[in-house]
Structure 1
């Protein structure tokens, strides 16, 4: 059957999607935007999102999603994998110079996932001053402890816990996940949302500045975590998440001198405009894999 420009088929508990361009699972899942996907021996990825566990393969423009059906593809995975967006157009818009041409070529299969904003917020609170393997382990432990169990092919996986599950958590229980000093921030975020003090559903209608400021009401959320939450939940795309490392990358590639966080944000806003988030992800992946800006 046809669905929004793709030929899709349900077979043996799999959804097979033909005509998927600009999608490389390595680029998508290892570019730093998500923490629930694990590479398998056959080069596929298995992960959990929106309370579902699936396995993902993509080769020769054929996307294969195992442990799902057509209904979930339409209701969850089509948007989650941003399949409604023409990434060849995005690439044209961000390839403004030789640096970006090289970055886009290197990470040509990146697609920005539309993750659940609550999970994204907590994941990037955990990411502060942390390394990706440790973040992945912590998010997994929190899901194992507080999330719902999911079975797939005889294996057990765990959904990320909802707001109410974590609002009832204890500091001692969370500390066993390895989140360290971030535990108090996780508990606080869950409780202020559960009590109605902050609504994550409100940020989509705000402009970037207001949305960022609103998210920074959460304890432990600065500009970088706020921008990551907005970008990787698919809420806003004209953000350019910048931490100390991204700052060094921009100084090395563009400024050729020290630059302030404000200068970098202004440059990204003016230079990349509404596509700043896509540009950041191509640059981030390219720089991290090639150790640009590393000390």
Structure 2
């Protein structure tokens, strides 16, 4: 086990960050949070608004943990907007994570027409396939399976793990990408990566944008699901009137790309962080 303390130049709030819906398989444990990322079992505890302590069993180094947590990033320029400024006051320290690309892609395939509790269960079932246990004190969790491991399993195997119709999508994904391919995309333009991701069955605008935002940290990506659509209706009705002839949920999804362009123009090509704030806000007031 490795342990240490990280001091950030910017505010971080672990509760806001890990309850924001952007990542799966992270759980509240006592005063802190525990989960698996980058083949490591990690426990994080908040000491003050800029200091966290960590304990790690696995491969991740402190500098990589800093990058994963987004500790060196801030998006202050977008809070000149009064609407977002009010929301951010309640969610100061909400960080945009940079997740492992392979696990993120698999996780969001599993998220299709699903809820967070069930997504976590499916991913836990998949993790057992890795056969690699990670231990931190009395806590044991499984590492995420590699692409070479998942490719050995069939659609029927995934059905038994509770993936349902997503089993077919996962088999297709495993036949087209792996960890190396995803890392090679790091240097490519967002549009090229998105086109490739959308060639995989089950991946459309929203899921591709989630993968790009949460693991490639492409801030121009603005995933819109039913929750974000509701937040847009509640907080940005007058903005939507500039895009939609009739403002309603159905038309928000019809004009998905136009809305993304509008909010990137409004928020300095950082619409992705706006999306994270909106999702957290609307889920908390449901």
Shared fold (TM-score, shorter chain, > 0.5): yes
**Residues 81-110 of structure 1: CA distance to partner in whole angstroms, max 9, x if unpaired?**
12232x2xx1x2111422211221122121
Deviation at 1:117, TM superposition (A): 0.8
Indicate the residue corresponding to 2:272 in structure 1.
277
Indicate the residue corresponding to 1:288 in structure 2.
283
Range that drifts further, 134-143 or 173-182:
173-182
Indicate the residue corresponding to 1:232 in structure 2.
214
In the TM superposition, 1:78-93 aligns within 5 A as: 78-85=66-73, 87=74, 90=75, 92-93=76-77
- Contact 1:17 1:63 survives alignment (8 Å): yes
**Residues 226-257 of structure 1: CA distance to partner in whole angstroms, max 9, x if unpaired?**
00001100341111111233223212211253
Indicate the residue corresponding to 1:133 in structure 2.
117
Gaps of 5+ in 2: 239-246
Deviation at 1:19, TM superposition (A): 4.1
Aligned length: 272
Q: Runs of at least 4 residues of structure 1 off by over 4 A?
A: 68-71
Gaps of 5+ in 1: 1-11
- Contact 2:24 2:116 survives alignment (8 Å): yes
Indicate the residue corresponding to 2:242 in structure 1.
none
Cα gap change, 1:47 to 1:252, in 2 (>3 Å): same
In the TM superposition, 1:66-215 aligns within 5 A as: 66-67=55-56, 72-74=61-63, 76-85=64-73, 87=74, 90=75, 92-193=76-177, 199-215=181-197
Indicate the residue corresponding to 1:266 in structure 2.
261
**Residues 50-95 of structure 1: CA distance to partner in whole angstroms, max 9, x if unpaired?**
1110110113122100135998112x2121112232x2xx1x2111
- Give distance in 2, aligned partners of 1:254 and 1:223: 21
CA-based RMSD of the aligned residues comes to 2.2
Cα gap change, 1:205 to 1:47, in 2 (>3 Å): same
- Contact 1:204 1:236 survives alignment (8 Å): no
